[in-house]
Structure 1
């Protein structure tokens, strides 16, 4: 029998299940999402599950189960089931869905910590780290920056200078699978029952880190490409694995584009260490672009605030504002459409 508390099950989740109309059925956690089915870990082991028609066709893509979701299922074979319900989500890591204005794509749910993995080679990009951090903090998930492949030659002082404005928001680990002490320190940051998701670009060593933390080859890895000198893309799906006597790890495919999907653009000033300057602006509604008496612009012009950080803030704020405005309009349209449908139903009932 598998003890699901090692996968994050707790009293709060148990109460949510008791409040469900399907409390008498089995429950489990989604570990892998395939195109048409789900792998679910339950007290009786791993099962292959499908969705009921109501769930499959009655929910948007974002509302369908993702890795990390807790689901309730009906068992119909020894290792097969049908998912009939999903417990309310918490701490969802998501991004703006590619090619859309305001649609979101769920990456994982019930996440406690997110490891933002970058490698200390050409992949290192502080702007990308900022982007991940902002979205992670928005969902009340704890971000941790993991700078991997520390066995490569790099200038640590220069790297620390680049990340000093975000290092206050999250712990930073320099790691290498060839330096056991660095992996031990990372392992110590994960507690039993915690869920940790790994995010980053292709080839930064996410899968290798997961394998090393688990002390077992639980995920496929690839060698460095001889033609490009960079790591090859390995993970093709989000996958959950369990560490011995510790937490749950979720590996994810490399992400080329990570669009922001946050509802409060104003939160960016605090996340990027700009809020201290903002408090001294002459106007409370200062946009920090060309207003007189703007303390943020003064800090940039005097060199106290890094100009690249300031430009990144403006870019992220524009993107966040565009998303939340589009999301607001989308909700208004959906609400109006729902009212229209209800009106049609009443009209048909009267006639």
Structure 2
């Protein structure tokens, strides 16, 4: 295996110095556990125990090790996916790094949800990564073509593929994005068929799969960690667990791109601070009344705007508090050293 088979690209090559070429070993984070990180080099798999001196890394990161396999530094990322940690916990969770294409997976049964697709698109657009919508379980849906058209209506330029996750010939439609040197990631909610897709693309039973529940057509949550795999096509595949909750934060640009037509309308409102509710001269309300804008899409846009603003402000406040705490700790440490020196 060479570095290109792990997704190595010129962007990362340009960050190496002459000393790095002579003294460093390049590795990629292939898995992240509570106890540490698993890394892949050209020749072996390396375990890197968790330590306070390590930066916060995630699956897909590129790092440099010395010849004793000790951490030196993490390379600058070409892309990063993150979210607010699930639940009430106030923290940012890194999902994956250095991704070229994201397959947003949604099944064509009762899981079908346009608002969820928009949520994932906002995250993907913020990371400036190509998105492909992958619709699965068409065999369980009598109106698959109609639902596909609904997804396409979100953006006429949106790339969409409908596949049978169990059929390799069908899944081959995804291989143009899975060439050597490219890294792709699967995102989607639990039970939409991601693990089945992973197994089919890898042509082996790498991930556990589960049947859908009969009561609500929901799939079972089978993938429990983020892992990297190399594909027969030459690309790198990063699988992620299904996300029951994807709280957005710091994705204002991604939202602007995802809802570009709404933001364009907003520039035409009479008042710059228009809330797009009952104000006179609201271009968005005018478009709604003329059936030129879908009310569901507008409501989701406003909802995601509020969510990302709230979460971004909370995380910014947390970072400020952490910074102040760090200053206080360093101040105490410096004072203690001064006393010892006396």
Normalising to structure 2: TM-score of the pair? Answer: 0.88
Deviations 1:208-256 (A, max 9, x none): 1112122222322233446765432211111111112331111111110
Which stretch has the larger CA shift, 201-210 or 319-328? 319-328
Structure 1 equivalent of residue 24 of structure 2? 25
Query: Alpha carbons of 1:121 and 1:299: their partners in 2 closer, same or farther (altered >3 Å)?
Result: same
Structure 1: give runs of 5+ residues left out of the alignment: none
- For 1:88, the equivalent position in structure 2 comes to 76
Distance 2:313 2:143 in 1: 41
Maintained 8 Å contact 2:152/2:158: no
Relative to structure 1, the CA distance from residue 127 to residue 229 in structure 2 (aligned partners, 3 Å threshold; closer, same or farther) is closer
Q: 1:156–1:167: structure 2 CA closer, same or farther, 3 Å change rule? A: farther
Contact 2:109 2:217 (8 Å CA) reproduced: no
Q: Which residue in the other structure is 2:46 paired with?
A: 47
Deviation at 1:20, TM superposition (A): 8.1
Contact 2:124–2:254 (CA under 8 A) maintained in structure 1: no
- Is residue 142–residue 170 contact of structure 1 (8 Å, CA) maintained in 2? no
Note if 1:70 corresponds to 2:62. Answer: yes
Give the Cα separation in 2 of the matches to 1:48 and 1:248: 20
In the superposition, relative to structure 1, how do residues 270 and 39 fare at CA in structure 2: closer, same or farther (>3 Å)? closer
Partner of 2:8: 9
1:318 shift after superposition: 0.3
TM-score between the two structures when normalised by the length of structure 1: 0.85
Q: 1:267 to 1:37 in 2, by over 3 A?
A: closer
**Secondary structure of residue in 1 paired with 2:77:** coil
Deviation, structure 1 residue 94:
1.2
Checking the alignment, whether the CA contact within 8 Å between 1:117 and 1:147 is kept in structure 2 is: yes
SS of 1:54's partner is: coil
Q: How many Å separate the matches in 1 of 2:289 and 2:18? A: 57
Within the candidate set 74, 83, 106, 2:94 is matched to 106
Give the match's secondary structure for 2:316: helix
User: Match of 2:139, SS?
Assistant: coil
**Which residues in structure 2 correspond to 1:1-351 (within 5 Å)?**
2-18=1-17, 24-52=23-51, 54-55=53-54, 59=55, 63=56, 65-74=57-66, 81-100=69-88, 103-168=91-156, 170-225=158-213, 229-264=217-252, 268-272=255-259, 273-341=261-329, 343-344=331-332
Alpha-carbon shift at residue 91 of structure 1 (Å): 0.6
Residue 102 of structure 1 deviates from its aligned partner by 5.1
Q: Which moved more, 1:132-141 or 1:273-282?
A: 273-282
Residue 21 to residue 212, structure 1, CA distance change in 2 (3 Å): closer
> Which deviates more from structure 2 when the two are superposed, residues 38-47 or residues 280-289?
280-289
Q: Deviations over 1:265-311 (max 9, x none)?
A: x6534412313322321223433233221101111223221111111
User: How many residue pairs were aligned?
Assistant: 338
After superposing on structure 2, the runs of 4+ consecutive aligned residues of structure 1 that deviate more than 6 Å are 19-23
Q: Is the 8 A contact 2:123 2:251 kept in 1?
A: no
Unaligned runs of 5+ in 2: none
- 1:134-176 residue CA offsets vs partner (Å, 9 max, x unmatched): 0111111111111111222331343144324423353111111
Report if aligned partners of 2:110, 2:217 keep a CA contact under 8 Å in 1: no
